[in-house]
Structure 1
């Protein structure tokens, strides 16, 4: 088994498309007058990202946790061949040979196949087209952080974690699927076939700030706005009890992690600084600790998260800018530590052969408590 703990991703949605999607989904915010948007540029406007937020600092909870905890798993690194990786063996994804007559394989041999091979067998494709397409899509020379965590993150916060199951194909071959095999296929569908664009707050920083620290002042490397960050975390996690995906790396690399809990403390008050959002009468210093799921090695059974395995935390400090009604209208980060952008996306539909996943996913969770 190759270690795959780390980071990942490529949220392949052009910024123009992201902005159009976000702006197109904007609705009237009943509780917040329209002038609240004055402190935000369009890419950082919480009202465009998601309507109906509470903006009053005093009404926002100082701690919260989602009703469903995102499960950790691997992001299927491109370097290892994505979901064509025979993750329980040390075989090279880009050179192993597929089986000409899989009906002759025993259960132990079938269990060791890659998620892509198992799905091809399930749908009766003994020419293994998914294996071939994964080998073409991925590259052993890719950076280790590249993978499909842009599928893992939204799915892990939306659906229950499956357990292993055995599925029989049309030719009577009983195919053992481990928990990570099932998740791999669902994550792949989410990452590469999602028919609903993500809603994004902030812009992606495409600069390597370790090499070019002076580029930290580029607008895309300064967001997400700290006030907007506070509003999203406290409204989604604290009030609505749902997670939000956050790119925890400020610069070039992308670490898509679902934040599912937080604790915050309100510190001192300061007068408005030069450059604060128009209408600011006061700034408050905020300290926040967030918890999120991380990438771990794939497993046959559901992930063992005892002792906090598969989860981590970060601390942030920032100010929020308040108007004369105590509503957050802006903010700024204190120090270099900050996320890059935030996003959400509903689960992708399963169509065509991928509808086969729906049936055996249900069997893989039916014995669990809701």
Structure 2
């Protein structure tokens, strides 16, 4: 349905991707208007909008036709094609201008310029995705002039003595995460016009080509390292309290469990946000509990003076769930090659505890995190749909060239002839 498409693009220098996080008031109003239209449409179709999940994190943002019967949802699932590991090309190292293979080697952008006769490419990459993109950052000469509490360093372009204070965690995980889901991993080196592109170079270029995507977003961004908590230990602001536990459960079990399709998780840790493709999940415990048991669990195991469940007045059944989610992390900058065989090296697991809220018929209508999961849970979830036809680095990099390199990398196979490795197209 067209109403589920979100194509916001306000701040092209945003670390998280302008398509996900508009930064001015007008864009925010537009976003909320579209979400309101979505909610009204879903309500007209009979979709339950529970008290504790709202227009920003209802699971039907992904798809109106989701299975919500708790008994019909699988206890484990994984992506049919595991997302691949790649570098996040940090802003402070000037994005894909970074000479990852050593200072004497060319960067991915420099190799592209040499192979395709493009000029001013490093300046354009820096302007749109690298150090020069941080126009509002404090200028510096040395890192001591920057804010260490924000993880800033004094980032300088090659040959420059003046830099900008940029957090080391800024990068393009919002491009790597979706492309690792949507496309198979590059496998082989490719030579073009006498220039050899290594696998990490090809990954860099194709990742940059996916900076802007069409997607469906659930949840809102929390920028607080230590959000204020309510009397129940939950963040007071909806931006830090979502994504709702029931929403997360429904989307994991429908997409990874029933459809074996991955999506992206936005993780928050000490105020730093990053995007990761999900590999799979495992429900280690799913036990029906009484209303009073649910209240005690939400009260961190302590007796409560409350005699009724106050978080969702429509809930009639309750389930205590223990969940493990596997996701992929970025590689080190100098890690080259096809990494599918060693993907476990880049797999991490987050564990969550929560109460599922359901109707008398077992339809999930919400949820509440318990224990440490009240503050340590997904900040947002998003489903990449397609790459947007947007200029790469202001248009100096041609997407057709990038995708041709990529196609050769995934379609070639290696042949060993007289001790030399030759490449030929698959038949």
8 Å CA contact retained: 1:243, 1:260: yes
Aligned equivalents of 2:250, 2:260: Cα separation in 1: 13
Q: What is residue 202 of structure 2 aligned with on the other side?
A: 182
- Contact 1:84 1:135 (8 Å CA) reproduced: no
For 1:199, the equivalent position in structure 2 comes to 216
Aligned match for 1:115, one of 108, 115, 137: 108
Q: Which residue of 1 aligns with 2:352?
A: 316
Aligned partners of 1:367 and 1:296: how far apart in 2? 23
- Structure with the bigger percentage of strand: 2
**What are structure 2's unaligned runs of at least 5 residues?**
1-13, 23-27, 135-153, 156-164, 295-307, 414-425
Runs of at least 4 residues off by over 4 Å: 15-30, 212-215, 349-352
Whether 2:394 is the aligned partner of 1:366: answer no
Identify the match of residue 149 of structure 1 among 173, 176, 187. 173
Q: Report what 1:106 is aligned to.
A: none
Once the two structures are TM-superposed, the CA of residue 327 in structure 1 deviates from its matched residue by: 0.5
The residue number in structure 1 matching 2:158 is: none
Pick aligned residue for 1:54 from 62, 67, 82: 67
Of 146, 160, 165 in structure 1, the residue corresponding to residue 189 of structure 2 is 165
Q: Residues 236, 207 of structure 1: CA spacing in aligned structure 2 closer, same or farther, 3 A cutoff? A: same
Q: Is the 8 A contact 1:87 1:114 kept in 2?
A: yes
Residues 9 and 254 in structure 1, CA contact (< 8 A), matched pair in contact too = no
| Pair 1:297-2:332 in alignment | yes
Q: CA deviation at 1:236?
A: 0.7
CA contact (8 A) 2:61 2:216 kept: no
SS class of match (1:182): helix
2:118 is aligned to 125
- 1:245-295 CA distances to partner (integer Å, 9 max, x unpaired)? 111216631121111211102024121753232321021110000101001
Cα distance in 1 between the residues matched to 2:343 and 2:216: 33
Distance of aligned partners of 1:25 and 1:67 in 2 relative to their CA distance in 1, 3 Å threshold: farther
- Matched residues in 2 for 1:17 and 1:174: separation? 48
SS state of the match for residue 111, structure 2?
A: helix
Please give the per-residue CA displacement for 1:99-150, whole angstroms capped at 9, x wherever unaligned.
xxxxxxxxxx7xx211111222233113434455344226713111110000
**Structure 1 stretches of 5 or more lacking a match?**
1-7, 92-108
- Structure 1 residue 19: deviation in Å? 4.4
Residues in 1 aligned to 2:360 and 2:245: alpha-carbon distance in whole angstroms: 19
Q: TM-score, normalised by structure 1?
A: 0.81
Tell me by how many angstroms 1:185 deviates.
1.1
Tell whether the 8 Å contact from 2:268 to 2:378 is kept in structure 1 after alignment. yes
| 3-state SS of 1:36 partner | coil
* 1:21/1:175 CA distance change after superposition, 3 Å: farther
Instruction: From the superposition, tell whether residues 9 and 63 of structure 1 become closer, same or farther in structure 2 (CA, over 3 Å).
Output: farther
Between 1:19-28 and 1:178-187, the stretch displaced more is 19-28
CA separation in 2, counterparts of 1:229 and 1:320? 10
Match in the other structure for 2:133? 137
**1:28: Cα distance to partner?**
7.2
Aligned residue runs from structure 1 range 71-82, under 5 A = 71-82=84-95
Q: What's the counterpart of residue 11 of structure 2?
A: none
Match of 1:228 in 2: 247
Q: What are the equivalent positions in structure 2 for 1:203-282 lying under 5 Å apart? A: 203-209=220-226, 216-249=235-268, 252-264=271-283, 265-271=285-291, 273-282=308-317
Answer 1 or 2: higher relative contact order, Cα 8 Å, separation at least 6: 1
Q: Distance in 1 between matches of 2:35 and 2:206?
A: 25
3-state DSSP class of the match of 1:43? Answer: coil
Instruction: State the 1:48 CA deviation.
Output: 2.5
Distance change (3 Å), C-alpha of 1:27 and 1:119: farther
The whole-number CA distance in structure 1 between the counterparts of 2:108 and 2:30 is 31
User: What is aligned with 1:94?
Assistant: none
In structure 2, relative to structure 1, the CA distance for the partners of 1:339 and 1:206 (3 Å cut) is same
